[in-house]
Chains A and B, each alone.
Chain A
Amino acid sequence: MNVNQSAPPVPPFGQPQPVYLGHHQSSYGGQPGSTTAPTSYGAYNGPVPGYQQTPPPGVSRAPPSSGAPPASTAQGPCGQTAYGQFGQGDVQNGPSSTVQMQRLPGYQPFGSAILAPVVSQPAVLQPYGPPPTSAQVTAQLAGMQISGTVAPASPPSGLGYGPPTSLASASGSFPNSGLYGSYPQGQAPPLGQAQGHPGTQPPQRSVPLQASSFTPPASGGPRMPSMTGPLLPGQSFGGPPVSQPNHVSSPAPQALPPGTQMTGPPGPPLPPMHSSQQPGYQLQQNGSFGPTRGPQSNYGSPYPGAAAFGSQPGPPQPLPAKRLDPDAIPSPIQVIEDDRNNRGSEPFVTGVRGQVPPLVTTNFLVKDQGNASPRYIRCTSYNIPCTSDMAKQAQVPLAAVIKPLARLPPEEASPYVVDHGESGPLRCNRCKAYMCPFMQFVEGGRRFQCCFCSCINDVPPQYFQHLDHTGKRVDAYDRPELSLGSYEFLATVDYCKNNKFPSPPAFIFMIDVSYNAIRSGLVRLLCEELKSLLDFLPREGRAEESAIRVGFVTYNKVLHFYNVKSSLAQPQMMVVSDVGDMFVPLLDGFLVNVNESQAVITSLLDQIPEMFADTRETETVFAPVIQAGMEALKAAECAGKLFLFHTSLPIAEAPGKLKNRDDRKLINTDKEKTLFQPQTGAYQTLAKECVAQGCCVDLFLFPNQYVDVATLSVVPQLTGGSVYKYACFQVENDQERFLSDLRRDVQKVVGFDAVMRVRTSTGIRAVDFFGAFYMNNTTDVELAGLDGDKTVTVEFKHDDRLNEENGALLQCALLYTSCAGQRRLRIHNLALNCCTQLADLYRNCETDTLINYMAKFAYRGVLSSPVKTVRDTLITQCAQILACYRKNCASPSSAGQLILPECMKLLPVYLNCVLKSDVLQPGAEVTTDDRAYVRQLVTSMDVAETNVFFYPRLLPLTKSPIENTTEPPAVRASEERLSNGDIYLLENGLNLFLWVGASVQQGVVQSLFGVSSFSQITSGLSVLPVLDNLLSKKVQGLIDSLRAQRSRYMKLIVVKQEDKLETLFKHFLVEDKSLSGGASYVDFLCHMHKEIRQLLS
């Protein structure tokens, strides 16, 4: 990216990297050194925030920060300009009154800060140049140097970048900036702590960052030259990642001391970034990676260009090294930290159309002012091209990731329930869209115009209300459906199956009692747990007891149903051996109220493990079990959920019988796709019946060997259920994980028998859907069950023109039955902007969401195409997206530079993670079942989950002072980041590793593991001893909080450095080259650069 660019002005490569470090350092050292530095940081930060606003901004920030420092002088102006832009941004933000107000102040400080930074900027810039680190920075730099690349960073545009998107971006950024303003204070502290280093500066920095980020862009241009300078230093710095944080932090400095602290922390992470980034920087802005030495070298051979790339600008010189400094390429950590700092402290107010929300990794509150919270809907872009030509040109997928029943933090209110009485919810007569804040009332309120299809509808008399002078209904703020983005309607009987209000749903527990299940202790454990768990079934609101009824089935080759009617003295078991033609043998007494039948149920659960204790039956059936559950629900005329606990490949003679077809030889052949396809169509048919009945299936697997997850998961997948897999289950080791998952799964709030429909403004249309559901036609997403973790990704395509003025509206309507049996409609509305300029599109993208979409797209692709094709498609699409940007939005620059849009500067690294995931590039140790399992898991993941799943979090535990109680800042997922004197936690939402360096202090080992030396630590340990000391408590606390964040319990595995388990661990260091042949980040970036160059030429 810029690196190159930066290089041009200065020796790009080598320098850039150094710069990064330098940046950090420089920022740290330098800034500190120079009084101005902090200010400069501030400035940087300032800008950064702007960038951060959008994810891209984050990227931009880094650059800015970096940029800022170096550019100091040069930037100064930039910064100013940037501010100017900001100002505009503010204006735009303006709409969001109060918040903005806050922001404004923030800005001002920034402005000032910026000025100050300006000075520093030069310095920073230099570092930046090198530090292409944060995409932002790069962006800025790029913006500066590269121009445009930093589309996101409008400021850059201002600088030079500005041109492309500048204004828009600026505006976008502004709001953020505003946020930032607020953030700094709040955030600052945490960051500071995290960072540890920059005691003083950090705080300041944080603020600066925001400001700086902005500035950088502005400065970008000018800085360029300076950049180079910094680069050199950067190189030197390279080592200290911390420095970056400083950078970041630095910007904030003066203006917002508290903020600065915040930034400080972020800064640190950045630094490393920077170092790498510098090149990255260049990259970022322009995405000029070329310089990347390492990669080049790697690719080197492959890419002759690599050298060329790098070389183009200055890299050649410094880089004879040939290696692209990893610190110089965009760092996810940096971006995340920046966004956290800049946007974490202020609520995200949804009143403005097309606003890009904070990153999923940022903690923020949402205020619903007319658009659905990003917790419910996230889009790949908040600015949609007006025409399909444009969309095709950009190749940026237009998709929304929708989580209709998302759980909200306690601070946010769940959607209001609106009752429109007997006539049911008010809808457009033509397109059937539901009443929403975007409907226009006309003719004095007697009619309303549908915002989706423009049809004019009469307002029913009972709904009539006068309009005020602005044409708004007087009661707009009294009615959730007129003022909020998300709300619920009570459904009338017309919305119910068979025109009958549904009965409360039921849970049926279906337990495998074959030999394996008994022997592993599973059955005993499960039965024991169920006794208490049943008291915690989901209930509606403040209901005294759950309306959900429960039933029990055990099975091996035959099924055993249990009559647990409360009037019975003891349970009755009914065996159905006719698995070929399953039926439910009893009506009364199978599904019961837990409280009423407590005694019988307890007696049953006591007896189940005893009854089968001596079983020698090893064969199991599967399809008949689901069939039975479904029939039971059908007989009871209710929807519900089956909890299946299953251990083995169903080989008993019955429908859905499977054979072992696992064949690793198929990998990398055209037949590889068969490994992901179900063996038989029987399960699809079954799933269809389940969906029709509203029967959701959750599957808990406990395989000791191949069970054909690809086939077994078909029904859960199509019914909106979940699959949990515990390979080689042993009570001692896996009990906690299983029970925790089970408790969560049973207790979570679920909607049943749901249908989801996404309506859009005329011009675009939902064309494709990804997730765990079934579709009978092209528009209705049918979900037998839907919980707060399940996500549906929807892709849109143009079928007409959109116009900028009206924007594009989405309305997601979910009709479902609540856990108390109430039929409801949940409505989410979201308004997006439309653009005629590609740059606007690139400036309002969200990479995390994009990756979510692309991963799901690819993971579905493997069902029908060879994996290689799927991988190539992804790479090509990514290259096209970036090439389009380069061609249309970035300022002209050398072809050797890799220029990335600010908002997408992480696209390559994340995409690489997707490409080398187990599904698309399996390692030798990855089983076919694992791949199928992961494949279906990802299908319904939300953005936060895919983000951490593909790019795991790596948290150093011993870097920051023990007293520091906040979560430590993450480091990049690369072996180079691990120091053998430290301990790290790594998590990806499914796995949790504790990596212990070989030369960790004995004291630490003692206080954490309770043993005296490294060698005494048990490798593979899954539970840390509970010890009464600060470190132990802190680590335990951290682990607990990580687990609490994820929808599945992560089992801890302690990995010692140099131990054989380390291979497993290293698999998750996704920036490194993987054993299975996955490219390292640097290598991939070079490859991507090459692809882009090819496209451009």
Chain B
Amino acid sequence: MVMLYGRKSQVDYRAKLWACNFCFQRNQFPPAYAGISEVNQPAELMPQFSTVEYVIQRGAQSPLIFLYVVDTCLEEDDLQALKESLQMSLSLLPPDALVGLITFGRMVQVHELSCEGISKSYVFRGTKDLTAKQIQDMLGLTKPAVPVHPARPAQPQEHPSISSRFLQPIHKIDMNLTDLLGELQRDPWPVPQGKRPLRSTGVALSIAVGLLEGTFPNTGARIMLFIGGPPTQGPGMVVGDELKVPIRSWHDIEKDNARFMKKATKHYEMLANRAAANGHCIDIYACALDQTGLLEMKCCTNLTGGHMVMGDSFNTSLFKQTFQRIFSKDFNGNFRMAFGATLEVKTSRELKVAGAIGPCVSLNVKGPCVSENELGVGGTSQWKICGLDPTSTLGIYFEVVNQHNAPIPQGGRGAIQFVTHYQHSSTQRRIRVTTIARNWADAQSQLKHIEAAFDQEAAAVLMARLGVFRAESEEGPDVLRWLDRQLIRLCQKFGQYTKEDPASFRLSDSFSLYPQFMFHLRRSPFLQVFNNSPDESSYYRHHFARQDLTQSLIMIQPILYSYSFHGPPEPVLLDSSSILADRILLMDTFFQIVIYLGETIAQWQKAGYQDMPEYENFKHLLQAPLDDAQEILHARFPMPRYINTEHGGSQARFLLSKVNPSQTHNNLYAWGQETGAPILTDDVSLQVFMDHLKKLAVSSAC
């Protein structure tokens, strides 16, 4: 068992030995560390470096690989916009990056990029499910019957030669590919009246996966799938080509009326697993007004760490900028992305890993530190994350074990080490090691310690992930009930109250926000599918399962800023009471940025006050949220939908659906008052929710 150093290790400087604090084995330092001493410590041993990254020099460095898979069943201007985006992206790639192009519509074309004078492509029927072997045979990727060469060295050279036709260094075929993209035509097959275009997304993706599988297994690669509509034929079809039959809705799914869903899902899962196994990640860029089948395809991104982007059209800045942002670079000029990562979690013996939730797949590595109870993707101590970027996160769940048989030594520390092997975008292989240790506290006697150390935000997000993870496979109400139960149990454990007296219930500060998070989570699109299409739900859940803590919190409980003449912009409660006539509200839900002009403000604006020199301050007031929104828009990936609306505007619904309905048509008059705007909903308000929570928490019946 190879152990990496960590500052939690016990080091014997004289003997040049160190003891692993996960398995307690004593290890020799390697020769490179010969000079260490108490005053000359390597970074690994310094407490401020909880994370250390190692660069591995061994092994061939493989270039970055980008395989574009492009739907051609698009409207002319959509296709044109997409072509321009793609051409633009070529200029952002490092010159030695390998690129490939697959286009599809009724048929699937794999373009050979190295030909002069004639453009060459391999064409596949869009209706036929092909095995990886068949695809590779048909693409001529199977190695010519060269006598078996046991000699290893031959391997690296073969790669380029075999794959050269379909995946070429961008510097060689820049012009070719640009022309090719420029000449790309809409799918020429006629679409009869009342039909959807035949779109072979399933086969196209299958071929893309097969192509990379055959040429660059276990090498980081990015498949970028651009779709303008749902797959309508072949394996992975989501809807038939009859326009009169609409694509499945949540209603259909609940009624078990979605004919193609199960089969399609299976198809994409199979592809996702294969891609993941080879370390390739799949991005989906879906731009269409209707659904495109993200529900069925979500696993492709979710299991491989790819991006999922949903928009209305390729001809929107939402798509264009989001896509451009994929290729953003760090200060070293490297892409902010990494490939083919494996994450290994090691724990000291008091802890076991129960699972992980995030853009990963299990590597099925059992070990002593693997818990039998699975939370998320469990049963393993290693996961594979094919695509990573700086915001990618994994929620990892642990279990404290053996408390009875082997009580935790007082004053001891539990240690966890995260070892991430990955391919850096500079093509280096790297290993990043993060080691953390925490003191043990006794759950009976030291509850206060625990309480004080409780990170309610992280807990909320982790709980939310679990809930969302469950929601993928369970009925919505069950998940809500489960979440409620967890919340109640938490309150029972950490609340201070007198039994059967809800009014006496109190939570300490470190828990105070937690129930509110849960309240908003229950209302969030991650758990509520009402008013969302299956695709939208999938999209939201996708992002929720990979974004970092801050972003996740925004998703759970959107941020609401208020702008007024009364003072500087201030965050306000996400509550209907915050919607006032003389305010401008800026709401960030992560997916949307909503600027809402209160009634009065909107009237002023209509009256044109902002254009009058004497009301320049009004102009500034109007401008302030816009500037703030721009700031968010610039930083966020994917680009949020930007909504500018006002009191009474139809788009105001985005705001109204998020705020806590403290005032509704039901209680409007009871609350009376001039404050806030009533929300027409039957949803319970936070107040009601809390009342119930308190009642249940103090109830001895539970």
| A interface list, Cβ under 8 A from B | 558, 560-561, 568, 570-578, 581, 583, 585-589, 603-604, 607, 610-611
Contacts and interface: CB of A to CB of B under 8 A. Distances in A.
B119 interface: yes
B268 interface: no
Contacts of B26: none
A581 B107 CA distance: 13
B139 interface: yes
B138 A558 contact: yes
Contacts of A573: 115, 118-121
Given A560-B120, A572-B120, A578-B124, 10 more contacts: A558-B140, A568-B183, A575-B112, A575-B120, A576-B124, A578-B128, A578-B138, A585-B107, A588-B188, A607-B118
Contacts of A604: 118
A577 B138 contact: yes
B107 A570 contact: no
A-B residue pairs, 6 tightest by C-beta: A577-B138, A585-B123, A575-B122, A573-B120, A588-B188, A574-B123
Contacts of B124: 576-578
Contacts of A586: 123, 188
**Chain B CB within 10 Å — which of A577, A610, A611 has the most?**
A577
A604 B117 CA distance: 9
Nearest to B137: A577
Interface string B525-543: 0000000000000000000
A570 B137 CA distance: 28
A560 B120 CA distance: 9
Contacts of B121: 572-575
B109 A585 contact: yes
A587 B138 contact: no
A271 B181 CA distance: 81
Nearest to B125: A583
B163 to A, nearest CB: 16
13 contacts: A572-B118, A572-B119, A572-B120, A573-B115, A573-B118, A576-B123, A576-B124, A583-B125, A585-B107, A586-B123, A587-B189, A589-B188, A611-B115
Contacts of A570: 117-119
Nearest to A561: B123
Given A585-B109, A586-B188, A607 B138 contact: no
A587 B72 CA distance: 15
A558 B137 CA distance: 11
Nearest to A582: B125
A586 B122 CA distance: 12
B197 to A, nearest CB: 13
Interface in B76-130: 107, 109, 112, 115, 117-125, 128, 130
A607 B117 contact: yes
Contacts of A574: 109, 120-123
A560 B121 CA distance: 9
A386 to B, nearest CB: 60
A581 B117 contact: no
Interface in B177-225: 183, 188-190
A567 to B, nearest CB: 10
Interface string B120-159: 1111110010100000011110000000000000000000
B305 to A, nearest CB: 31
A603 B117 contact: yes
A568 B117 CA distance: 12
Interface string B628-652: 0000000000000000000000000
A400 B121 CA distance: 52
A766 to B, nearest CB: 43
A577 B118 contact: no
Q: Could you tell me the dominant secondary structure of chain B's interface residues?
A: mixed
A588 B187 CA distance: 10
B117, B118, B119, B137 interface centre (most CB from chain A within 10 Å): B118
A585 B121 CA distance: 10
Contacts of B122: 574-577
* Most B CB within 10 A of own CB, among A560, A574, A575, A586: A575
Nearest to A575: B122
B368 to A, nearest CB: 49
A571 B115 CA distance: 12
Contacts of B117: 570, 603, 607, 610
B292 to A, nearest CB: 24
B35 to A, nearest CB: 58
B125 A577 contact: no
B186 to A, nearest CB: 10
Contacts of A589: 188
Contacts of A607: 117-118
Contacts of B128: 578, 581
A578 B138 CA distance: 6
A562 to B, nearest CB: 8
Contact of A575 (B123, B125, B137, B183): B123
B118 A571 contact: yes
A570 B124 CA distance: 22
A560 B122 CA distance: 8
A587 B120 contact: no
B191 to A, nearest CB: 12
A573 B107 CA distance: 14
Contact of A578 (B112, B118, B119, B125): B125
A743 B382 CA distance: 69
B665 to A, nearest CB: 58
B132 to A, nearest CB: 14
Contacts of B115: 573, 611
A607 B125 CA distance: 26
A570 B115 CA distance: 12
Contacts of A577: 122, 124, 137-140
A586 B130 CA distance: 20
A539 B183 CA distance: 34
Nearest to A587: B188
Contacts of B188: 586-589
Q: Which residue of A560, A585, A586 has the most chain B CB atoms within 10 A of its CB atom?
A: A585
Interface string B506-538: 000000000000000000000000000000000
A576 B128 CA distance: 13
A842 to B, nearest CB: 63
A561 B123 CA distance: 9
A558 B120 CA distance: 13
Nearest to B123: A585
A400 to B, nearest CB: 46
A557 B115 CA distance: 20
A581 B188 CA distance: 21
B461 to A, nearest CB: 48
Contacts of A587: 188-190
Interface in B553-589: none
A575 B128 CA distance: 16
Contacts of B119: 570, 572-573
Contacts of A578: 124-125, 128, 130, 138
B611 to A, nearest CB: 51
B210 to A, nearest CB: 12
A607 B116 CA distance: 10
Nearest to A608: B118
Contacts of B109: 574, 585
B121 to A, nearest CB: 5
B463 to A, nearest CB: 49
A581 B125 contact: yes
A118 to B, nearest CB: 82
A76 to B, nearest CB: 84
B179 to A, nearest CB: 9
Contacts of A575: 112, 120-123
B146 to A, nearest CB: 12
Contacts of A558: 138, 140
Contacts of B190: 587
Nearest to B135: A577
Contacts of A588: 188
A561 B121 CA distance: 10
Nearest to B119: A572
A571 B118 CA distance: 6
